[in-house]
Amino acid sequence: MNKNIAMAGAGLSCAVIARGLAEKGHKVTIYEKRDHIAGNCHTERDKNTDVMVHVYGPHIFHTDDSEVWDYVNRFMDFKPYVNRVKATTGGRVFSLPINLHTINQFFNKTLSPSEAEEFIAQQADTSIVDPKSFEEQGMRLLGTELYKAFFHGYTLKQWGVNPKELPASILKRLPVRFNYNDNYFFHQYQGMPSEGYTEMVENILSHPDIQVKLNSEFSSSMVERFDHVFYSGPVDGYYDYDLGHLPYRTLDFEKSEESGDFQGCAVMNYCDESVPFTRITEHKHFSPWETHSKSICYKEYSRNCEPGDIPYYPITVVGGNDLLEQYLARTRNEKNITFVGRLGTYKYMDMDVTIRSALDVLEKWN
Ligand SMILES: Cc1cc2nc3c(=O)[nH]c(=O)nc-3n(C[C@H](O)[C@H](O)[C@H](O)COP(=O)(O)OP(=O)(O)OC[C@H]3O[C@@H](n4cnc5c(N)ncnc54)[C@H](O)[C@@H]3O)c2cc1C
């Protein structure tokens, strides 16, 4: 029997689920509290410069999941794009992730791959036998110089916590490549939607049985009007934060219009603790197939999320998160509502993971 379904949020999670349900004959109404679709992947052209801007921060699509890659390509033409990140530290510019070029440049050497591997092993602080913290792990794997130059200040700014207090498990493997590969991601598929993510989400939502209501907040009191609800808003928000707020980091973007080419690449990280922002994004470099005489840049600042701010990154708390467990226990007792997406499940998920889990939710739901 065809059902009357509501969704909270017009981001990728609900868009994918809505499309699947509409194709099965169900009627879907999506409530979105913002004045646009696509959630945090939202892109729009800047009015003055015509540059496609990633409004909530830089988004690069990358995946090893061929089904997800086929899915996004069904709704938008993807242009080849390789994410190559640069980093400024100590007044010099390097390539990230740390690779052979970074090592040779940083230590002013001309090492081969095997020589570099040996050299980094010598740099490692072997006096740390059983690293407990992120800082100890960084110094154990990389040595003090590389760790301090690329990880210490950046991590401190990004998470607002001294790396001494973060678990070693965050830095599992040696974050170094002993070749000149500066592709930030390892995934098989990588690209950028030619007309931005919002147009892609618009195409996903373009179905006669999907209705989108913008500027409309969904609340728990509306659930009983529908056969089922998919909720991609914050799980603590659904319960009016009655047990307290889950911890998030939020971002502030300082936007500027520049002429010509401001920094020569899309993303430049600033690793020094003395620089208050974490990175600068120059958006036109995400669309290298376009030409623009002007440019739009975002300086990105990270801080703890306060009530009213946009929640960006869930904070993983050492030793587990009791508050999250309490909220999740309540969701398991709900009958007609499924909590989805990065806010509904309180998990950081890249776009490909978001789409994969939405497709899985769809598969299981009858
Ligand atoms: C800074 C940053 C950079 C990122 N970069 C990348 C990247 O490079 N590559 C990558 O793959 N992924 C990246 N991601 C992850 C990507 O943003 C997520 O995978 C994706 O946004 C998740 O989609 P979602 O639908 O679950 O959530 P969201 O995009 O957050 O959508 C949820 C929507 O629900 C709405 N909403 C919330 N509560 C309510 C309510 N009560 N009623 C109505 N509407 C409501 C919100 O307004 C929002 O539009 C990045 C994330 C961040 C924060």
- Identify whether residues 79 and 102 lie together within a single domain: no
Residues of the chain with confidence (pLDDT) below 50:
none
Question: What's the structural domain count of the chain?
Answer: 2
- Identify whether residues 235 and 326 lie together within a single domain: yes
Q: Furthest-apart CA pair in the chain: how many Å?
A: 69
Mutating to test ligand 1, I would choose from 34, 41, 246 the residue with most ligand atoms within 8 A of its C-beta, which is 41
Judge residue 41's burial from the number of C-beta atoms within 10 Å of its C-beta, 0-12 exposed, 13-18 middle, 19 or more buried. Answer: buried
Range of the domain at 115: 98-170
Mutating to test ligand 1, I would choose from 59, 198, 299 the residue with most ligand atoms within 8 A of its C-beta, which is 59
Mutating to test ligand 1, I would choose from 186, 197, 351, 360 the residue with most ligand atoms within 8 A of its C-beta, which is 351
Three-state secondary-structure class, residue 6: strand
Query: What is the rounded CA–CA span in Å between residue 10 and residue 231?
Result: 10
The two three-digit tokens of residue 354, written as one number: 């978001």
- Identify whether residues 242 and 317 lie together within a single domain: yes
Active site residues: 173, 177, 249, 279, 300, 348, 350
175 inside domain: no
Expressed in angstroms and rounded, the spacing between residue 97 Cα and the centre of ligand 1 is 25
What CATH number did the domain enclosing 75 receive?
3.40.50.720
Q: Which atom of ligand 1 is nearest to the CA of 354?
A: 19
Answer whether 0.85 is exceeded by the pTM.
Answer: yes
Query: What is the rounded CA–CA span in Å between residue 292 and residue 313?
Result: 32
Taking only the tens place, the pLDDT of each residue in 55-113 is: 999 999 999 999 999 999 999 999 999 999 999 999 999 999 999 999 999 999 999 99
Residue located via tokens 């990065």 = 342
- Identify whether residues 105 and 242 lie together within a single domain: no
263 inside domain: no
- Identify whether residues 35 and 151 lie together within a single domain: no
Q: Which of 123, 142, 170 finishes a domain? A: 170
Expressed in angstroms and rounded, the spacing between residue 165 Cα and the centre of ligand 1 is 28
Query: What is the rounded CA–CA span in Å between residue 348 and residue 12?
Result: 14
The string of DSSP letters for 331-356 reads HHH-SSEEE-HHHHTT----HHHHHH
Considering only CA atoms, which residue is closest to atom 28 of ligand 1?
39
93 inside domain: no
> Hey, which bits of the chain come out as E strands?
4-8, 27-31, 43-45, 52-54, 61-63, 78-80, 85-89, 92-96, 189-193, 210-213, 228-231, 248-259, 267-270, 279-282, 294-304, 313-314, 337-339
Considering only CA atoms, which residue is closest to atom 46 of ligand 1?
9
Judge residue 151's burial from the number of C-beta atoms within 10 Å of its C-beta, 0-12 exposed, 13-18 middle, 19 or more buried. Answer: buried
Give the pLDDT of residue 317: 65
Q: Which atom of ligand 1 is nearest to the CA of 342?
A: 26
Expressed in angstroms and rounded, the spacing between residue 181 Cα and the centre of ligand 1 is 30
Pocket of ligand 1 (CB under 6 A): 8-14, 31-34, 39-41, 57-61, 217-218, 232-233, 251, 312, 341-343, 349-352, 354
Expressed in angstroms and rounded, the spacing between residue 32 Cα and the centre of ligand 1 is 12
Residue 55: partners with Cβ closer than 8 Å, 6 or more residues away: 42, 43, 44
Q: Which atom of ligand 1 is nearest to the CA of 31?
A: 43
Give the pLDDT of residue 319: 66
213 inside domain: yes
Expressed in angstroms and rounded, the spacing between residue 258 Cα and the centre of ligand 1 is 28
Q: Which atom of ligand 1 is nearest to the CA of 36?
A: 49
Taking only the tens place, the pLDDT of each residue in 280-298 is: 999 999 999 999 999 999 9
The string of DSSP letters for 110-162 reads ---HHHHHHHHHHHS-TT-SS--BHHHHHHHHH-HHHIIIIIIHHHHHHHSS-
- Identify whether residues 199 and 153 lie together within a single domain: no
Expressed in angstroms and rounded, the spacing between residue 90 Cα and the centre of ligand 1 is 34
272 inside domain: no
Give the pLDDT of residue 168: 87
Give the pLDDT of residue 170: 82
Give the pLDDT of residue 208: 98
Query: What is the rounded CA–CA span in Å between residue 316 and residue 148?
Result: 22
